[in-house]
Structure 1
Amino acid sequence: MTDAAPARGGASDGRRCHDPGMAATAAIRARVTAEQPLGGALREDVAERAAALGVLGWVRAADDGGLQVHAEGDAASVDALAAFLSEDGRTVDVERVRREGHEQFAIRGVPAGVFVVQQHAATARHFDLRLEVGGVMRSWAVPKGPSLDPAVKRLAVEVEDHSMGHNDFEGRLGEGGVIVWDRGGYEQGGRVPWPEALDRGHAVFVLHGEKLRGGFALQRTRPGEKAQWLLVKRRDDDARPGSDIAAEAPGSVVSGRTLDEVLRG
């Protein structure tokens, strides 16, 4: 259900709790616009107000210079956040939506760190996916490499953390070698805060690389030492069904050389 009128008087939601002993709950999706582009300071203010109200969800910049907000929680608190969004002449279009089960209020669209994918020739050829988390690179060996096809689920075996100093290495390594197959920044996503999302075994993130772009998810399927995960591309505008990016773009993003060329010296 969509309410196209500005949310001057607050927002309500069709999903109310019918237990009289519990507070009514609400969830909204809001688009915030103004005569001037809304900057990062307002995103911070929205996150702070949501935290003070106990509201969960997210805020992110919209392509038109406005903001997009998902808010859920106690109905009165959600209404209060919607009223805050409409202050200072801002227009807020509110859509009533279902609760998504968030456990945080996050600022999305903000880089969380760097990622790198290296291709290795060692005992067996494989790719390493590494995400910067807490000052180290959390790492997964992906034998067949990442995919942009959402229908393809790649095995990813968790390996030891690496220092960020290894991110730029490319060349011979003993009898094998390494290339930097892709790299860039990434955003943390999902409903659960990081690194708790990784600890629980389901983490969503957005890559901004030269080859890999858009949403991905890591899902743990077997815990323990060298835990096994599945790496899956999410269905979004950057998905490429039927593609095999590892085979189609084998070269390094640093030198353009393939791993075979590095091994030949």
Structure 2
Amino acid sequence: MAKLLDPYRAKRDFDVSAEPSGRRGRRAKKARFVVQKHDARRLHYDLRLEIDGVLKSWAVTRGPSLVPSDKRLSVPTEDHPIDYLAWEGAIPKGQYGGGTMIVWDTGHWKPVGDLAAALAKGHLEFELQGERLKGRWHLVRMKAAAAIRMSPGC
């Protein structure tokens, strides 16, 4: 079985980029999340949820919205190491994800219902307790390849 962070490491040259090479973390008492503003080829936001010692990650176009009727395309990306919870910096131009990244929000999260079943089904409902984002959210798998809709709950 491939290690969860192998795809992350394969895309990066840690001799060039200051990104953490990473490790799996120990399970925290309260699962954490981070939203990072990522000014790469296109400005977007990265949502990362701590699950099984790594950060499951999605690139969210235009960033999260607080309006329930707004939907945001969210594209799954590779799992990231726990060190990314606080990582900010510049990824060199020409490297995967090149551009600046800042922590936009951070806090704790919890799934609503059974996490494994929700991930398998492709409809994860969860609660965020962050500095900016609070309340219930949904990640819903759509028919388009690897596309997920992120929207706040009602």
**TM value normalised by structure 2:** 0.74
The answer on 1:156 being equivalent to 2:74 is: yes
SS in 1 for 2:41: coil
Residue 123 (structure 1) shift: 1.4
- Residue number among 52, 59, 67 corresponding to 1:134 in the alignment: 52
1:200-219 to 2 correspondences below 5 Å:
200-219=121-140
Residue 196 (structure 1) shift: 2.3
Residue 222 (structure 1) shift: 3.0
Question: 1:145: which partner in 2?
Answer: 63
Percent identical residues: 43
For these two proteins, the number of residue pairs brought into alignment is 121
Cα distance in 1 for partners of 2:116, 2:66 equals: 24
SS in 2 for 1:222: coil
Counterpart amino acid of residue 200 in structure 1: K
Name segments (4+ residues, structure 1) moved above 2 Å.
none
Cα distance in 2 for partners of 1:116, 1:166 equals: 8
Counterpart amino acid of residue 111 in structure 2: Q
Residue 194 (structure 1) shift: 1.0
The answer on 1:233 being equivalent to 2:129 is: no
Cα deviations by residue, 1:160-190 (Å, 9 ceiling, x for unpaired): 1111112211122213210000000011103
List gaps (5 residues or longer) in structure 2.
1-28, 94-98
Cα distance in 2 for partners of 1:230, 1:150 equals: 12
Cα distance in 2 for partners of 1:119, 1:195 equals: 28
Cα deviations by residue, 1:67-112 (Å, 9 ceiling, x for unpaired): xxxxxxxxxxxxxxxxxxxxxxxxxxxxxxxxxxxxxxxxxxxx75
Structure whose alpha-carbon radius of gyration is higher: 1
SS in 1 for 2:87: coil
Residue 148 (structure 1) shift: 0.9
1:1-265 to 2 correspondences below 5 Å:
112-175=30-93, 176-190=99-113, 193-222=114-143, 224=145, 227-235=146-154
Cα distance in 1 for partners of 2:116, 2:132 equals: 25
1:146, 1:154 within 8 Å by CA — same for their partners in 2? yes
Counterpart amino acid of residue 135 in structure 2: G
Cα distance in 2 for partners of 1:233, 1:215 equals: 6
List gaps (5 residues or longer) in structure 1.
1-110, 236-265
Residue 195 (structure 1) shift: 2.2
Counterpart amino acid of residue 213 in structure 1: K
Cα deviations by residue, 1:204-244 (Å, 9 ceiling, x for unpaired): 100000100000011100365xx110001011xxxxxxxxx
Distance 1:162 1:146, change over 3 A: same
1:144, 1:154 within 8 Å by CA — same for their partners in 2? yes
SS in 2 for 1:197: helix
Q: Higher relative CO (CA 8 A, sep ≥ 6), structure 1 or 2?
A: 2
